[in-house]
Chain A
Amino acid sequence: MREQKVYADWLDAGTHIGFVILLVTFCVYASGLAAPQIPLADLPKYWGLPIDRYLAATGAPVGWGWVAYAARGDYMNFIGIAFLGTITVACYLRLVVVLAVQRDWLYTAVAVIELAILATSASGFISRGH
């Protein structure tokens, strides 16, 4: 099936790129090449706190707020993490096109609804509340 092959190709490429980004940004972070927002030695004071108290104590951003700190060593890692979180979205975007070309409207609809759910989750809209 064509859609399965296309999905596999996109998933393969995306996963490889994602892991490279994840490793490179972590090396930059751990080596100290880019200064972190929260010093590494201070992290043990915070990582045992529940999320609400952690955010209050560190002033860590929520939602897509990390983008503003992406030059910082720790938040640079979110580029790779967010990339891993968008691979499926990219695969589904491509899948919608393939299925629509095949005029498989039932599965096109399933893919579009899934995309809407993933996009809503990624947007941060339903995570607000802190």
Chain B
Amino acid sequence: MRRTRVRIALACFGALASAIPCMAFAATDAAGAVPWWIWPIGLFAVSFAIGVVAVLAGVGGGVLFVPIVGGLFPFHLDFVRGAGLLLALSGALSSGPSLLRNGLASLRLAMPLALVGSTSSIVGALVGLALPTAVVQTALGVTVLAIAVLVWNTKATDIPGVRHSDPLGEALRLSGVFHDPAAGRDVDWKVHRTPAGLVAFAVIGFVGGLFGLGAGWANVPALNLLMGIPLKVSIGTSGLAISIINTSAVWIYINKGAIIPLLVVPAVVGAMVGARIGSRLLHVTHASVIRRIVIGILAAAGIRSLLQGTGIWN
């Protein structure tokens, strides 16, 4: 059984690894000789693998989807970003109910942060669709490389243990209790540096809207390391905040006409099926190894995006 699961995990990595050079080759074909139906099937396969890897590495699918698909498939970056936002939104919506019911996501914590984030994500989406593609692609490459460095360097703290809340955090009653089954006890939490947290979510929302990325890569460090919220509550609340923030940005892409269903649906369904498989493989895989693989993928996708944006490798 264990061997079977490991084989499944390896197969997923293999699918992603083998799909990438195939797609890179096919992209150079300028979508001429390749039958149209190859693309949605390839997109489903890559999104499935992204769904598995994203869960195992603890990052959102959007941050992998946009640079990989934008760099290796023939779709224009405008449509890839729209699909990326919907992919991240779908994942966040589907995980939200259980996180809320288990107390791993705090609605009161998410609401003010999402309010700031959703406003800035609208601005980000409008800016992203107005800028020249080469500029967005180059900036995406730089951002994805920065995310790889951030993921590499981030050392999360399980329970930061904030002693005194700041005045704004107190006014917003940003505190709570969650039951940690691993530790077998209830954990009280409260926040500090709330104004800095709000500024961080404004920046994260803007970047998310601009590039169509999910924002778990930045939300979790902002909640955990900056605001002092326990890691599990940070991860759960991040997902809930993404579902709110991405909703506002998604509508900009829908209303601008930057949604092609043939791209969106295979990507969303593939990532969701992959995430389900990934969650079952969590206990048989080594998180540190997968984390390194994801950092490698991010670095490669970031460099590819950078080269594409600067016109060195189209």
A8→B259 contact, CB < 8 A: no
- With A15-B93, A40-B36 already in contact, the answer to whether A5 and B248 are too (CB < 8 A) is no
Residues of A within 8 A of B111 (CB): 107, 110-111, 114
**Chain B residue at minimal CB-CB distance from A106:** B172
Count of interface residues, chain B, beta-carbon cutoff 8 Å: 60
Tell me whether B9 is interfacial, beta carbon within 8 Å: no
Expressed in whole angstroms, the Cα–Cα distance for A23 and B266 within the complex equals 10
A44→B74 contact, CB < 8 A: yes
Expressed in whole angstroms, the Cα–Cα distance for A82 and B251 within the complex equals 8
How far in angstroms is the closest Cβ of chain A from B308?
Answer: 13
Q: Would you give the 0/1 interface string for B8-43, flagging 1 where the beta carbon is closer than 8 Å to chain A?
A: 000000000000000000000011101011010000
Query: Among A12, A51, A63, which residue has its beta carbon within 8 angstroms of that of B129?
Result: A51
Q: Give the secondary structure class of A's interface.
A: helix
A8→B101 contact, CB < 8 A: yes
Q: How many A-B residue pairs have CB under 8 A?
A: 170
Within 8 A of B (CB), among A82-105: 82, 84-85, 87-89, 95
Expressed in whole angstroms, the Cα–Cα distance for A114 and B74 within the complex equals 36
Tell me whether B296 is interfacial, beta carbon within 8 Å: no
Expressed in whole angstroms, the Cα–Cα distance for A119 and B269 within the complex equals 27
Interface size class, chain A: 35 or more
Residues of B within 8 A of A12 (CB): 96-97
Q: Would you give the 0/1 interface string for B80-120, flagging 1 where the beta carbon is closer than 8 Å to chain A?
A: 00000010011001101110110000111001101100110
Expressed in whole angstroms, the Cα–Cα distance for A33 and B90 within the complex equals 26
Tell me whether A35 is interfacial, beta carbon within 8 Å: no
Expressed in whole angstroms, the Cα–Cα distance for A42 and B166 within the complex equals 58
Tell me whether B258 is interfacial, beta carbon within 8 Å: yes
Ordered by A's residue number, 29 sampled pairs between the chains whose C-beta atoms are within 8 Å are A5-B100, A8-B100, A12-B97, A19-B90, A22-B268, A47-B260, A48-B76, A49-B76, A50-B76, A51-B78, A51-B256, A54-B78, A62-B255, A74-B261, A78-B259, A84-B93, A87-B93, A89-B247, A106-B172, A117-B118, A117-B248, A118-B118, A118-B247, A118-B251, A121-B122, A121-B249, A124-B255, A126-B126, A127-B251
